[in-house]
Protein backbone atom coordinates (compact mmCIF):
# COMPACT_ATOMS: atom_id res chain seq x y z
CA UNK A 1 0.00 0.00 0.00
CA UNK A 2 1.24 3.52 -0.70
CA UNK A 3 2.36 5.88 2.08
CA UNK A 4 -0.07 8.48 0.76
CA UNK A 5 -3.39 8.25 -1.08
CA UNK A 6 -5.30 10.98 -2.90
CA UNK A 7 -8.95 10.92 -1.85
CA UNK A 8 -10.96 13.67 -3.51
CA UNK A 9 -10.46 16.75 -1.32
CA UNK A 10 -8.32 14.72 1.10
CA UNK A 11 -4.84 13.38 1.36
CA UNK A 12 -4.51 10.18 3.38
CA UNK A 13 -1.06 9.82 4.98
CA UNK A 14 0.27 6.82 6.87
CA UNK A 15 0.08 7.21 10.63
CA UNK A 16 3.19 8.83 12.07
CA UNK A 17 4.19 9.76 15.60
CA UNK A 18 4.31 13.41 14.51
CA UNK A 19 0.50 13.32 14.21
CA UNK A 20 0.04 12.77 17.95
CA UNK A 21 -1.04 16.27 19.00
CA UNK A 22 -3.49 16.68 16.11
CA UNK A 23 -4.87 13.20 16.63
CA UNK A 24 -5.48 13.83 20.33
CA UNK A 25 -7.14 17.18 19.59
CA UNK A 26 -9.49 15.57 17.04
CA UNK A 27 -10.35 12.63 19.33
CA UNK A 28 -11.06 14.90 22.29
CA UNK A 29 -13.22 17.22 20.14
CA UNK A 30 -15.14 14.25 18.73
CA UNK A 31 -15.36 11.96 21.73
CA UNK A 32 -19.10 12.23 22.28
CA UNK A 33 -19.79 11.42 18.64
CA UNK A 34 -17.24 8.57 18.45
CA UNK A 35 -17.94 6.74 21.71
CA UNK A 36 -21.23 5.09 20.68
CA UNK A 37 -19.83 3.65 17.44
CA UNK A 38 -16.09 3.00 17.57
CA UNK A 39 -14.84 -0.22 19.18
CA UNK A 40 -11.61 1.52 20.27
CA UNK A 41 -13.61 4.27 21.98
CA UNK A 42 -14.66 2.38 25.11
CA UNK A 43 -12.70 4.88 27.17
CA UNK A 44 -11.12 8.15 26.11
CA UNK A 45 -7.60 7.29 24.98
CA UNK A 46 -4.73 8.97 26.78
CA UNK A 47 -1.81 10.68 25.09
CA UNK A 48 0.29 7.65 26.01
CA UNK A 49 -2.30 5.28 24.46
CA UNK A 50 -2.19 7.20 21.19
CA UNK A 51 1.60 7.52 21.27
CA UNK A 52 1.82 3.71 21.53
CA UNK A 53 -0.74 3.32 18.74
CA UNK A 54 1.21 5.64 16.42
CA UNK A 55 4.57 4.12 17.35
CA UNK A 56 3.30 0.63 16.44
CA UNK A 57 1.61 1.75 13.20
CA UNK A 58 4.67 1.32 10.91
CA UNK A 59 5.15 -2.27 12.03
CA UNK A 60 1.44 -3.09 11.52
CA UNK A 61 1.58 -1.43 8.08
CA UNK A 62 4.72 -3.33 7.02
CA UNK A 63 3.23 -6.63 8.23
CA UNK A 64 0.02 -6.04 6.24
CA UNK A 65 -2.09 -6.19 9.41
CA UNK A 66 -3.39 -2.63 9.26
CA UNK A 67 -2.95 0.07 6.68
CA UNK A 68 -3.81 3.11 8.80
CA UNK A 69 -3.94 6.71 7.64
CA UNK A 70 -4.57 10.14 9.03
CA UNK A 71 -6.94 12.25 6.94
CA UNK A 72 -5.98 15.78 5.99
CA UNK A 73 -7.72 18.33 3.85
CA UNK A 74 -5.70 18.66 0.65
CA UNK A 75 -5.87 22.48 0.54
CA UNK A 76 -5.66 23.47 4.20
CA UNK A 77 -3.76 20.43 5.62
CA UNK A 78 -6.24 20.42 8.55
CA UNK A 79 -6.29 17.08 10.34
CA UNK A 80 -9.76 15.60 9.82
CA UNK A 81 -9.73 12.09 11.25
CA UNK A 82 -8.50 8.58 10.68
CA UNK A 83 -9.16 5.64 8.41
CA UNK A 84 -7.64 2.38 7.39
CA UNK A 85 -7.81 -1.09 5.97
CA UNK A 86 -7.67 -3.93 8.49
CA UNK A 87 -6.70 -7.48 7.54
CA UNK A 88 -8.80 -9.51 9.97
CA UNK A 89 -9.60 -12.42 7.62
CA UNK A 90 -7.70 -13.06 4.42
CA UNK A 91 -8.75 -12.69 1.57
CA UNK A 92 -10.98 -9.98 3.08
CA UNK A 93 -10.12 -6.47 4.29
CA UNK A 94 -12.26 -4.23 6.48
CA UNK A 95 -12.43 -0.46 6.16
CA UNK A 96 -12.77 1.75 9.21
CA UNK A 97 -13.12 5.53 9.27
CA UNK A 98 -13.98 8.47 11.50
CA UNK A 99 -14.13 12.20 10.91
CA UNK A 100 -13.71 14.86 13.59
CA UNK A 101 -17.07 16.17 14.81
CA UNK A 102 -16.66 19.70 13.44
CA UNK A 103 -16.03 18.38 9.90
CA UNK A 104 -18.74 15.74 9.40
CA UNK A 105 -21.27 15.86 6.59
CA UNK A 106 -18.83 17.07 3.95
CA UNK A 107 -18.15 13.77 2.19
CA UNK A 108 -14.75 13.17 3.76
CA UNK A 109 -15.48 9.65 5.03
CA UNK A 110 -16.97 8.73 1.65
CA UNK A 111 -13.88 10.02 -0.17
CA UNK A 112 -11.57 8.16 2.22
CA UNK A 113 -13.56 4.90 1.95
CA UNK A 114 -13.51 5.12 -1.87
CA UNK A 115 -9.74 5.66 -1.92
CA UNK A 116 -9.20 2.76 0.50
CA UNK A 117 -11.47 0.47 -1.50
CA UNK A 118 -9.61 1.21 -4.73
CA UNK A 119 -6.18 0.92 -3.10
CA UNK A 120 -7.06 -2.29 -1.27
CA UNK A 121 -8.05 -4.06 -4.45
CA UNK A 122 -5.13 -2.60 -6.38
CA UNK A 123 -2.28 -2.99 -3.90
CA UNK A 124 -3.05 -5.86 -1.50
CA UNK A 125 -2.35 -9.23 -3.04
CA UNK A 126 -5.15 -11.76 -3.02
CA UNK A 127 -7.92 -9.54 -1.68
CA UNK A 128 -11.28 -10.75 -2.95
CA UNK A 129 -13.64 -8.71 -0.77
CA UNK A 130 -13.66 -5.52 1.27
CA UNK A 131 -16.13 -4.98 4.08
CA UNK A 132 -17.46 -1.96 5.93
CA UNK A 133 -19.19 -2.53 9.28
CA UNK A 134 -21.25 0.08 11.03
CA UNK A 135 -23.81 0.32 13.79
CA UNK A 136 -27.45 0.00 12.75
CA UNK A 137 -28.26 3.37 14.27
CA UNK A 138 -25.32 5.18 12.70
CA UNK A 139 -27.15 6.62 9.69
CA UNK A 140 -24.28 8.84 8.54
CA UNK A 141 -21.84 5.94 8.39
CA UNK A 142 -24.40 3.53 6.91
CA UNK A 143 -25.08 5.94 4.03
CA UNK A 144 -21.51 5.57 2.75
CA UNK A 145 -21.22 1.92 1.59
CA UNK A 146 -24.13 1.96 -0.89
CA UNK A 147 -22.72 5.15 -2.49
CA UNK A 148 -19.55 3.15 -3.21
CA UNK A 149 -21.26 0.07 -4.64
CA UNK A 150 -21.19 -2.04 -1.48
CA UNK A 151 -24.06 -4.47 -0.87
CA UNK A 152 -25.65 -5.07 2.51
CA UNK A 153 -24.72 -8.64 3.43
CA UNK A 154 -26.40 -8.92 6.82
CA UNK A 155 -27.41 -7.22 10.04
CA UNK A 156 -26.16 -9.02 13.11
CA UNK A 157 -25.73 -8.00 16.74
CA UNK A 158 -26.63 -4.39 15.98
CA UNK A 159 -24.06 -4.15 13.18
CA UNK A 160 -24.58 -3.78 9.46
CA UNK A 161 -22.10 -5.71 7.27
CA UNK A 162 -21.56 -4.21 3.81
CA UNK A 163 -19.42 -6.04 1.24
CA UNK A 164 -17.83 -5.25 -2.08
CA UNK A 165 -16.24 -8.01 -4.12
CA UNK A 166 -13.33 -7.60 -6.49
CA UNK A 167 -14.55 -7.01 -10.01
CA UNK A 168 -14.14 -10.19 -12.08
CA UNK A 169 -12.45 -8.06 -14.78
CA UNK A 170 -9.60 -7.04 -12.46
pLDDT tens-digit readout, 83-113: 999 997 778 899 999 999 999 999 999 999 9
Q: pLDDT at position 41, please?
A: 72
- Domain span at residue 109? 4-132
Is 120 part of any domain?
A: yes
Q: Is the pLDDT of residue 23 over 90?
A: yes
pLDDT band at 13 (very low <50, low <70, confident <90, very high): very high
pLDDT tens digits along 33-79: 888 787 777 788 899 999 999 999 999 999 999 999 999 999 999 99
52 occurs within a structural domain: yes
Percentage of the residues of the chain whose pLDDT score is greater than 70: 98
Q: Is residue 51 domain-resident?
A: yes
On whether residue 15 sits in a domain, the answer given is: yes
Question: Has residue 157 been placed in a domain?
Answer: no
Query: Strand 10-14 vs strand 159-165: parallel, antiparallel, or unpaired?
Result: unpaired
CATH of the domain at 69: 3.40.630.30
Averaged pLDDT of the chain = 93
Average pLDDT over residues 19-35: 92
Examine residue 154 and state whether it is found in any structural domain, yes or no.
no
Amino acid sequence: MPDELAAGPLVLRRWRIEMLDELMEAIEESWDALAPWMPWAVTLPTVEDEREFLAAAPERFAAGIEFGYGMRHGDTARFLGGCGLHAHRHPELEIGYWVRASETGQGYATAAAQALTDAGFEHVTGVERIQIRCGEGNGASAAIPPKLGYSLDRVEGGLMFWNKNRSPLV
